[in-house]
């Protein structure tokens, strides 16, 4: 009884923390009003006409209402983030499922069930604020925890490794990757000369490059994307004991990617694809969820892993150090205002709480400087911590004063320390046991502008990644390199890049080089280049299955299934399969040539959700086509419907073709009457006896996400 009371009070305390944060934000929200006023609260007489001298005369300078409206409008934009400019965010909470008392004293990680409010922003590293969501890119995964001990920001990525080892090279990387400075092209794409010129001279980038060229660069959804803290951090426990930690976010819906051709098409059809997907899921109540995982390494073991934990271009394979799952992140509320929240949120890897500390990773060290600096430039002053989205939930007090846009009103005459005037007795803070204690690392050493030799191994993990991919994933990597390098105008850059890749895998480099009009890859030539250090070290593992995304089954919750509806469709089997899909958590949408209704074989009017034109196949995860002889005839005559189905086939999506509708594949020679259907294609008759089996097979096929090994996709006209 007592324990259930404790449990109950713990749950209500956890819920309170999240509700209180929401209340704190609500104090700043404004609803729509019927009355318009100036910023000073003076009611507007008219919001259509400026003040003029006479009906057709010039406008008057004294029109303070017009002046205020225009000056505010002229200043509506702030500089976009120099990287990770395009983003989408949501509110939610983090809940502890496995307390971490033995590793860290961080208050928010101590108790099972304790909940901490969070704000999470996903973003594209490369693209500008107005670019498209689905371009090939690294995604940001930044989490702000509003803890009782202050805000903690875990500012991570969708890939576990960085492109460069030292902060000194980050501006060069970003300059090379962004549109070229003379003509600002190309937007949101790494497929251009400056990026590959830089990459070919930076062997340390090889590992991250492999991730970027893989399916990881094309997430199907933020909700189906992993997150990583990238750097190694430190945990400190109450006894002052320290261990190293690497952070992971694992999505509950599994990790999944788009097809490259599909991603490019979506960028045109719906540039907001990923942010819309996140927004819609939360609005529907399908709250996205991730597990927090930790790889904990004690200091003694750190030196024996065969890699340097301070090198952010390396990951720690979970096959070497297993992941401890410790909490869940749930996003359940969309922001009220994009600018006030998503744009003004200010993350910083240096926002830590007692129990979490940094390591000497030279990339992380640079970040510790850069984020405050970036926020000062972006948000226009030193008081951005007072913006509602950035405010902590615990009391905040110090003697920093003034600055642009100060919101708080500090009382009293004292703004210094030590003092006796504030409370009457002496108040001073110097070196106590309280508060944030930096880990007392020993740093006695000469000043050196050099890199540790333990950072010299640039290829073994790129090879590990390559070795760990499935056959289809490898094909995707080769195709991505070929595409990007074929956009590079300078043959010497293409050559240098494939020479470099020969250090990752000779066959990979050879394959990539084939259509590029250059010579065969020459690893020895690469080794002679500027910036190139000889590869060192051997991977501790030959391959790590956890690095592959294929066959990452995770159910079909929230998957979008298109129902291609043409006149005369027989609805018997279709209805059974549709119900089974809905029961398993998917959604179905009827797509047809026009809105309104389509008549079935029995004359039933089937309501249409979308047209082929407005909602092409790339907006769906799978396609279901009802059968019927008349319907099949109608289908084959409807180019848009045929294209819809064949495009889904080309993108390796699960298809369920009932009865005669399979004819659509035969049109282009994709299905032979006597041969088994291709991977992920479910065919069957309209007979009642086979309906349930078809439904089960289709659900299993959707659960596998994509059938990348499906043959003959190149036969499908683009």
> Which tokens is 140 given?
């940001």
Per rule CB under 6 A, is residue 92 in the interface with ligand HDE?
no
Which of 25, 65, 84, 334 touches ligand HDE (CB under 6 A)? Answer: 84
Is 335 within 8 Å of 283 (Cβ atoms)? no
Stretch near ligand HDE under the rule CB under 6 A, chosen from 33-41, 155-163, 425-433, 642-650: 155-163
| CA 402/CA 383 separation, integer angstroms | 8
Per rule CB under 6 A, is residue 340 in the interface with ligand HDE?
no
Q: Which is nearer to ligand HDE, 82 or 407 (CB)?
A: 82
Nearest-approach distance from CB 216 to ligand HDE, in angstroms = 14
Kindly identify the residues of this chain, within the stretch 197-256, that bind ligand HDE according to CB under 6 A.
Answer: 230
Nearest-approach distance from CB 166 to ligand HDE, in angstroms = 8
Per rule CB under 6 A, is residue 338 in the interface with ligand HDE?
no
Per rule CB under 6 A, is residue 367 in the interface with ligand HDE?
yes
Q: Which is nearer to ligand HDE, 114 or 124 (CB)?
A: 124
Give every CB contact of residue 480 below 8 A, 6+ residues apart in sequence.
136, 213, 214, 217, 260
Is 382 within 8 Å of 400 (Cβ atoms)? yes
| Phi–psi pair at 257, nearest 5 degrees | -125, 165
Nearest-approach distance from CB 378 to ligand HDE, in angstroms = 6
> Which tokens is 708 given?
């990348």
- What H or E segment, with its residue span, contains residue 611? strand 610-611
Per rule CB under 6 A, is residue 170 in the interface with ligand HDE?
yes
Q: Which is nearer to ligand HDE, 234 or 496 (CB)?
A: 234
Nearest-approach distance from CB 296 to ligand HDE, in angstroms = 19
- What H or E segment, with its residue span, contains residue 294? strand 289-298
Q: Which residue has the tokens 């990752």?
A: 504
**Three-class SS of residue 354?**
coil
Which of 278, 326, 330, 374 touches ligand HDE (CB under 6 A)? Answer: 374
Which of 109, 278, 363, 581 touches ligand HDE (CB under 6 A)? Answer: 363
| Phi–psi pair at 591, nearest 5 degrees | -120, 135
> Which tokens is 206 given?
């090889």
> Which tokens is 527 given?
């080794």
Q: Which is nearer to ligand HDE, 157 or 460 (CB)?
A: 157
User: At what angle are helices 193-200 and 491-501 packed, to 10 degrees?
Assistant: 40
Residues in binding contact with ligand HDE, number by CB under 6 A: 26
Nearest-approach distance from CB 175 to ligand HDE, in angstroms = 12
Is 577 within 8 Å of 656 (Cβ atoms)? yes
Furthest CA-CA distance within the chain? 94
Pairing of strands 596-599, 622-625: unpaired
Is 89 within 8 Å of 335 (Cβ atoms)? yes
Q: Which is nearer to ligand HDE, 81 or 275 (CB)?
A: 81
| CA 670/CA 713 separation, integer angstroms | 9
Angle at 389 between CA 388 and CA 391, to 5 degrees: 65
Which of 154, 162, 352, 623 touches ligand HDE (CB under 6 A)? Answer: 162
Q: Which is nearer to ligand HDE, 50 or 383 (CB)?
A: 383
Q: Which is nearer to ligand HDE, 157 or 334 (CB)?
A: 157
Q: Which is nearer to ligand HDE, 294 or 518 (CB)?
A: 294
Q: Which is nearer to ligand HDE, 121 or 223 (CB)?
A: 121
**Three-class SS of residue 228?**
strand
Per rule CB under 6 A, is residue 161 in the interface with ligand HDE?
no
Per rule CB under 6 A, is residue 309 in the interface with ligand HDE?
no
Q: Which is nearer to ligand HDE, 374 or 493 (CB)?
A: 374
- What H or E segment, with its residue span, contains residue 150? strand 150-157
The CA distances from residue 152 to 94, 147, 366, 388, in Å, are 12, 7, 18, 16
Nearest-approach distance from CB 368 to ligand HDE, in angstroms = 9
| CA 435/CA 449 separation, integer angstroms | 33
Per rule CB under 6 A, is residue 140 in the interface with ligand HDE?
yes
The CB-nearest residue to ligand HDE is 140
The CA distances from residue 437 to 356, 477, 659, in Å, are 10, 45, 69
Pairing of strands 227-228, 242-251: antiparallel
Which of 14, 18, 65, 81 touches ligand HDE (CB under 6 A)? Answer: 81
| Phi–psi pair at 456, nearest 5 degrees | -75, -15
Which of 99, 350, 366, 380 touches ligand HDE (CB under 6 A)? Answer: 366
Nearest-approach distance from CB 336 to ligand HDE, in angstroms = 18
Per rule CB under 6 A, is residue 121 in the interface with ligand HDE?
yes
Per rule CB under 6 A, is residue 83 in the interface with ligand HDE?
yes
How does DSSP assign 245-313, residue by residue? EEEEEEETT---B--HHHHHHHHHH-TTHHHHHHHHHHHHT---EEEEEEEEEEHHHHTTSSS-TT-TT
How does DSSP assign 36-102, residue by residue? -B-TT-PBPS-SS---BSSTTSPBPTT-HHHHHHHHHHHT---PPPSSS-EEEEEEEEEEESS--TT
Which of 114, 221, 242, 375 touches ligand HDE (CB under 6 A)? Answer: 375
Q: For the stretch 459-475, what's the b/e string if a residue is b when 16 or more beta carbons lie within 10 angstroms of its beta carbon?
A: bbbbbbbbbbbbebbbe
Nearest-approach distance from CB 587 to ligand HDE, in angstroms = 29
Q: Which is nearer to ligand HDE, 157 or 189 (CB)?
A: 157
Nearest-approach distance from CB 211 to ligand HDE, in angstroms = 12
Kindly identify the residues of this chain, within the stretch 532-561, that bind ligand HDE according to CB under 6 A.
Answer: none
Nearest-approach distance from CB 141 to ligand HDE, in angstroms = 6
Which of 96, 167, 323, 571 touches ligand HDE (CB under 6 A)? Answer: 167
Nearest-approach distance from CB 168 to ligand HDE, in angstroms = 8
Stretch near ligand HDE under the rule CB under 6 A, chosen from 162-170, 412-420, 512-520, 626-634: 162-170
Stretch near ligand HDE under the rule CB under 6 A, chosen from 81-89, 510-518, 611-619, 668-676: 81-89
Which of 104, 134, 147, 157 touches ligand HDE (CB under 6 A)? Answer: 157
> What Rg do the C-alpha atoms of the chain give, in angstroms?
29
Per rule CB under 6 A, is residue 481 in the interface with ligand HDE?
no
Which positions touch ligand HDE (CB under 6 A)?
A: 81-84, 87, 121, 123, 140, 142, 155-157, 162, 167, 170, 230, 312, 347, 363, 366-367, 370-371, 374-375, 378
């Amino acid at each position: 009884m007592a324990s259930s009371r404790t449990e109950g009070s713990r749950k209500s305390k956890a819920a309170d923390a999240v509700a209180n944060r929401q209340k704190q934000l609500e104090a700043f929200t404004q609803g729509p009003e019927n009355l318009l006023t100036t910023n000073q609260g003076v009611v507007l007489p008219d919001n259509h006409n400026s003040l003029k001298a006479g009906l057709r005369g010039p406008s008057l300078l004294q029109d303070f209402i017009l002046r205020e409206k225009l000056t505010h409008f002229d200043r509506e934009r702030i500089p976009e983030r120099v990287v990770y400019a395009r983003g989408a965010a949501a509110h939610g909470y983090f809940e502890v499922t496995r307390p971490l008392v033995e590793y860290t004293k961080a208050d928010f990680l101590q108790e099972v069930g304790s909940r901490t409010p969070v704000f999470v922003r996903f973003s594209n590293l490369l693209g500008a604020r107005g670019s498209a969501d689905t371009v090939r890119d690294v995604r940001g995964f930044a989490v702000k925890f509003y803890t009782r001990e202050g805000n903690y920001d875990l500012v991570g990525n969708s890939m576990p490794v960085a492109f460069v080892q030292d902060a000194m090279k980050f501006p060069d990387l970003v300059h090379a990757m962004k549109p070229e400075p003379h003509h600002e092209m190309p937007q949101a794409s790494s497929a251009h000369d400056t990026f590959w010129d830089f990459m070919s001279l930076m062997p340390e980038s090889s590992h991250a490059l492999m991730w970027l060229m893989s399916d990881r660069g094309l997430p199907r959804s933020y909700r189906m994307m992993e997150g990583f803290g990238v750097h190694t951090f430190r945990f400190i426990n109450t006894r002052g004991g320290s261990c190293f930690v690497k952070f992971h976010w694992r999505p509950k819906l599994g990790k999944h990617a788009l097809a490259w051709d599909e991603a490019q098409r979506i960028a045109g059809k719906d540039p907001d694809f990923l942010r819309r997907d996140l927004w819609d899921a939360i609005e529907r109540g399908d709250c996205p969820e991730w597990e927090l995982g930790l790889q904990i390494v004690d200091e003694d073991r750190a030196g024996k892993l065969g890699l340097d934990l301070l090198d952010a271009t390396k990951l720690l394979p979970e096959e070497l150090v297993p992941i401890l799952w410790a909490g869940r992140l749930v996003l359940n509320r969309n922001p009220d205002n994009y600018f006030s929240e998503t744009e003004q949120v200010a993350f910083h890897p240096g926002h830590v709480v007692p129990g979490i500390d940094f390591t000497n990773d030279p990339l992380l060290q640079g970040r510790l400087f850069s984020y405050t600096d970036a926020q000062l430039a972006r948000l226009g002053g030193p008081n951005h911590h007072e913006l509602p989205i950035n405010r902590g939930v615990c009391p905040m007090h110090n003697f920093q004063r003034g600055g642009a846009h100060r919101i708080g009103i500090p009382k009293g005459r004292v703004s210094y320390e030590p003092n006796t005037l504030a409370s009457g007795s002496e108040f001073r803070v110097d070196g106590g046991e309280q508060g944030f204690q930096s880990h007392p690392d020993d740093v006695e050493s000469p000043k050196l502008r050099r890199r540790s030799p333990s950072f010299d191994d640039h290829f073994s993990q790129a090879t590990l990644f390559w070795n760990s991919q499935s056959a289809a994933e490898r094909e995707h990597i080769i195709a991505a390199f070929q595409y990007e390098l074929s956009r590079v105008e300078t043959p010497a850059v293409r050559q240098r890049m494939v020479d470099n890749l020969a250090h990752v895998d000779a066959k990979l480099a050879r394959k990539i080089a084939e259509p590029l009009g250059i010579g065969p890859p020459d690893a020895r030539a690469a080794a002679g280049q500027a910036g190139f250090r000889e590869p060192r070290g051997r991977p501790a593992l030959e391959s790590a299955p956890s690095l592959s995304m294929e066959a990452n089954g995770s159910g079909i919750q929230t998957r979008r299934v298109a129902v291609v509806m043409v006149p005369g469709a027989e609805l018997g089997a279709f209805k059974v399969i549709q119900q089974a899909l809905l029961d398993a958590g998917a959604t179905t949408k009827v797509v047809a040539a026009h809105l309104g209704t389509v008549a079935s074989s029995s004359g039933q009017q089937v309501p249409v959700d979308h047209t082929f034109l407005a909602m092409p196949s790339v907006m769906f995860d799978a396609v279901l086509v009802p059968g019927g002889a008349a319907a099949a005839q109608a289908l084959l005559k409807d180019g848009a419907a045929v294209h819809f189905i064949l495009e889904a086939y080309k993108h390796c999506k699960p298809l369920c073709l009932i009865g005669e509708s399979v004819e659509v594949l035969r049109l282009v020679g994709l299905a032979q009457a006597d041969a088994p259907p291709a991977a992920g294609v479910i065919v069957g008759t309209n007979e009642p006896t086979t309906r349930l089996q078809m439904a089960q097979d289709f659900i299993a096929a959707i659960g596998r996400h994509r059938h990348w090994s499906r043959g003959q996709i190149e036969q499908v006209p683009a």
